[in-house]
């Protein structure tokens, strides 16, 4: 499933419980390998440090969001730590997320680049 019910498109995610990483190759396979690798590192390191599941998605407006959840029985998962780590990632990778947003709006949603910038 790549697009959720509310128009969000899943870019990638990692699951600490199954120790798996997912990248939506069907929709976003044309991204440069260096960006794919960077996303992979972000997701896997997040789940190794905090646990749970992280998903990076494109919102309907083109912005990039990071969603985190944990299993009900996962008492080691700390929502506060997860939120802080998401904030750190957003701050350190701001340029990456801005570039991804521009990519999504222009190449996927076909918005006029002059209106996007």
- Whole-angstrom distance between the N-terminal and C-terminal Cα of the chain? 30
Q: What is the pTM of this model?
A: 0.90
Mean pLDDT, consecutive 10-residue stretches, the chain (117 aa), reads 70 97 97 97 96 96 95 90 96 97 93 76
pLDDT at 1: 37
> φ and ψ at 83, to 5 degrees?
-65, -40
pLDDT at 115: 73
pLDDT at 38: 98
């Amino acid at each position: 499933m790549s697009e959720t019910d509310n128009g969000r498109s899943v870019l990638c995610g990692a699951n600490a419980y199954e120790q798996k990483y997912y990248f939506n190759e069907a929709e976003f396979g044309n991204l440069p390998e260096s960006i794919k690798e960077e996303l992979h590192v972000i997701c896997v390191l997040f789940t190794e440090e905090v646990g749970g599941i992280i998903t990076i998605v494109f919102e309907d407006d083109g912005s990039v969001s990071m969603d985190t959840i944990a299993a009900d029985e996962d008492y080691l998962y700390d929502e506060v730590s997860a939120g802080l780590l998401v904030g750190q990632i957003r701050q350190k990778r701001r340029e990456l997320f801005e570039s991804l947003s521009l990519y999504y709006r222009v190449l996927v949603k076909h918005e006029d680049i002059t209106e996007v910038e």
